[in-house]
Amino acid sequence: VILGSPADARTSYDFVIVGGGTAGNVLANRLTENPAFNVLVLEAGPSDDGVLEIEVPFLCTHTTPDTPWDWNYTTVPQPGLNGATLSYPRGYVLGGTSSVNCLVYTRGSEADWNRYAVVTGDNGWSWKNILPYFKKSEKFTPPSDHHNITGDFNPAVHGFNGFNSISLAGAPTVIDGRVLAATEELGEDFETNEDYNSGSPLGFGWSQNVIDGPSGTRSSSASGYLRNALRRPNLHVLVNAQVSRILQTGTERGFPAFRKVEYRINGGGPLITATASKEVIVSAGSINTPQVLSNSGIGDAKKLKPVGIKSLVDLPDVGQNLSDHPIIVMAWLVNSTSTYDDFNRNMTLQAQELQEWEKTRQGPFVNGISQHIGFIRVPDDSPIFESETDPSPGENSPHFEIFISNFLLGTPPATGNFMSISAIMYTPGPISRGSVNLTSSDPFSRPIVDAGLLLSPTDVPLLRAGVRSILKLASAEAFSDYILGPADPSQPGVNATDEEIEAYLRANARSAYHVVGTSSMSKVGAADGVVDPDLKLKKVSGVRVVDASILPFAPAGHTQAATYALAERAADLIKADFE
């Protein structure tokens, strides 16, 4: 039930979930499967109901930044990016960032998950043990255009009964044949991988997206998990409800217990509280979870005191260890009038195509940003690793991803048709760590966010390897009568030197928004980290953190699939404690 006002809420629930985002809605659904548990979800943003920009897959690039559904964060100047400040979107709406992201569905590699198991000492996070949760969360659906997808994915590694709908591209694009021909022509790194979500991502394949094929719509945690649970009387959801703090309610077994959540409605009015008799679950995302914890006096005592917050639990890693992936987008003018650029710059055409989407659920608007993705690993004997340790978690794990778009990813110029090829570097080195810190004791003020991009010595060389692979792909014979020239004359070409590519990257790389690590898991009893492997907050009773912030390293993939899977496992861990 979505409550009309806080007056309709009870003062006490079994579980109170802070944030109706990607992870929060998984828990809302799974915990209320048990009719004996009652659950309150507090979401700071508005409802996603009926917002076309959110529903229509192709409009994903119009959901952020600077929209009503975005927290609209900006980073501090990034030394690795010539001092640029970056716009740093996060979903501020039911469904959280799953309502505004770019729909790409990638799980990371087997080695990523096995590393989580090693660093936490909990084999439950290993690939073998997390794969069932990927499958549980997933509902693999036929593509919108019902084309035959036999051989384009491996059904054995997918789930068909979950709440997060996945599909392959639902409308062909003008470049599909050329991309396939180019990868075939180049071989090696570009060889076909039938299914990059099997744990072994290396190679190229058809892009899998969080799109419900039959209806041609985005599948978010709100449209999938939450909507399917809303009829349950034991689930209460309040939107426009921003949590300020969690409050200490006593001491249990020697630990301070925090069982009360404080919030306000519609950005004003009195502070209201709700109590969780079993647990408070903080799922406010990688920026806001450390903010809520710090507001509550849970964080680095040395940092909280100067901003006027009384330290109640000294956990120095709250808000630290932020890890993110850098992305570089390269683009070319092409010899075609069938790219998607006009849909992004000509509002009349966009409105026409929107009508088409509403009528038929077919055509370009059922597609996300890319039809083809590839994952590449730099060889172990690369000179990059002569003096530096390879930050990759292990074999068969990519250092970067490449994806191809049938339009200029970014703001298109007034005229011209484009193709973009982008690279995301997946293995930031250990120095590339950012942070979320408070500047004020006002719990509704905005934290300072540092993305920590391109700071480690291996970062630029590995992203540069991505640029070299992009240039190799663009130089394939298959594109020789298609590519007319670079969209931006300063974009490096195949003859560019390493120094020229580095200068280009420092000036143009940005964030892929795969923010993790600000409430990292670590071993039970470890001095570092924020949560134990069962996601219970260290040194505290009654609180768990369940969202992307618990991942100590970013996986070699976009981060939503990992978030769904970790939230599914968290639901089982919580149920095991209370059922």
Ligand X SMILES: Cc1cc2nc3c(=O)[nH]c(=O)nc-3n(C[C@H](O)[C@H](O)[C@H](O)COP(=O)(O)OP(=O)(O)OC[C@H]3O[C@@H](n4cnc5c(N)ncnc54)[C@H](O)[C@@H]3O)c2cc1C
Assess 242 for contact with ligand X (CB under 6 A): yes
Q: How far is the CB of 30 from ligand X (least distance, A)?
A: 14
Other beta carbons within 10 angstroms of residue 345's beta carbon come to 16
The residue from 21, 80, 412, 555 that contacts ligand X (CB under 6 A) is 21
Tell whether 243 is in a known binding site: yes
Tell whether 516 is in a known binding site: no
Tell whether 102 is in a known binding site: yes
Q: Are 549 and 286 in contact (CB under 8 A)?
A: yes
Assess 92 for contact with ligand X (CB under 6 A): yes
Between CA 490 and CA 509 the distance in angstroms is 14
Between CA 363 and CA 343 the distance in angstroms is 12
Tell whether 101 is in a known binding site: yes
Assess 89 for contact with ligand X (CB under 6 A): yes
CA triple 194-366-130, angle to 5 deg? 45
Q: Is 558 a catalytic residue?
A: yes
Using the minimum distance from each CB to ligand X, give the nearer residue, 428 or 492.
428
Which residues within the stretch 194-233 sit at the binding site for ligand X (CB under 6 A)? none
Using the minimum distance from each CB to ligand X, give the nearer residue, 143 or 461.
143
Using the minimum distance from each CB to ligand X, give the nearer residue, 220 or 417.
220
Tell whether 97 is in a known binding site: yes
Assess 246 for contact with ligand X (CB under 6 A): no
Other beta carbons within 10 angstroms of residue 135's beta carbon come to 18
Assess 563 for contact with ligand X (CB under 6 A): yes
Other beta carbons within 10 angstroms of residue 188's beta carbon come to 9
- Encoding tokens for residue 207? 């892009």
CA triple 536-540-545, angle to 5 deg? 35
CA triple 311-314-320, angle to 5 deg? 110
Nearest to 19 by CA among 41, 47, 35, 34: 41
Cross-strand bridge partners of residue 275: 12, 260
The residue from 44, 202, 531, 551 that contacts ligand X (CB under 6 A) is 44
Using the minimum distance from each CB to ligand X, give the nearer residue, 104 or 465.
104
Q: How far is the CB of 221 from ligand X (least distance, A)?
A: 7
Cross-strand bridge partners of residue 237: 2, 41
Token pair 């250092």 is found at 399
Give me the sign of the Cα torsion angle 198, 204, 210, 214: negative
Q: What is the DSSP letter of 225?
A: I
Assess 455 for contact with ligand X (CB under 6 A): no
Assess 422 for contact with ligand X (CB under 6 A): no
Assess 560 for contact with ligand X (CB under 6 A): yes
Q: How far is the CB of 449 from ligand X (least distance, A)?
A: 12
The residue from 16, 31, 42, 175 that contacts ligand X (CB under 6 A) is 42
Between CA 488 and CA 107 the distance in angstroms is 32
List 236, 325, 399, 514, catalytic entry = 514
Q: How far is the CB of 20 from ligand X (least distance, A)?
A: 5
Assess 384 for contact with ligand X (CB under 6 A): no
Query: What residues contact 87, with CB distance under 8 A and at least 6 apart?
Result: 65, 66, 72, 73, 74
Span from 38-46, 161-169, 270-278, 487-495 in contact with ligand X (CB under 6 A): 38-46
Which own/partner pairs from 521-528 qualify as long-range (CB within 8 Å, at least 24 positions apart)? Answer: 521/116, 521/119, 521/120, 521/125, 521/550, 521/551, 521/552, 522/119, 522/120, 522/552, 523/119, 523/120, 523/121, 524/121, 528/317
The residue from 175, 313, 548, 570 that contacts ligand X (CB under 6 A) is 548
Nearest to 174 by CA among 440, 435, 479: 479
Using the minimum distance from each CB to ligand X, give the nearer residue, 91 or 492.
91
Nearest to 567 by CA among 550, 579, 552: 550
Annotate each residue in 110-149 with x if it binds ligand X (CB under 6 A) or - if it does not, as one string: ----------------------------------------
Using the minimum distance from each CB to ligand X, give the nearer residue, 24 or 517.
24
Tell whether 494 is in a known binding site: no
Q: How far is the CB of 258 from ligand X (least distance, A)?
A: 15
Using the minimum distance from each CB to ligand X, give the nearer residue, 181 or 448.
448
Assess 102 for contact with ligand X (CB under 6 A): yes
Assess 91 for contact with ligand X (CB under 6 A): yes
Q: Is 399 a catalytic residue?
A: no
Q: How far is the CB of 238 from ligand X (least distance, A)?
A: 9
Tell whether 103 is in a known binding site: yes
Assess 434 for contact with ligand X (CB under 6 A): no
- DSSP tally for the chain: helices H, then strands E: 12, 25
Q: Are 551 and 566 in contact (CB under 8 A)?
A: yes
Nearest to 248 by CA among 318, 323, 298: 298
The residue from 45, 57, 290, 326 that contacts ligand X (CB under 6 A) is 45
Using the minimum distance from each CB to ligand X, give the nearer residue, 437 or 563.
563
Annotate each residue in 300-319 with x if it binds ligand X (CB under 6 A) or - if it does not, as one string: --------------------
Residues of this chain that interact with ligand X (CB under 6 A) are 18-24, 42-45, 64, 89-92, 96-98, 100-104, 242-243, 283-286, 288, 292, 513-514, 547-548, 558-561, 563
Q: Which residues are catalytic?
A: 514, 558
Binding residues for FAD are: 93, 97, 101-104, 243
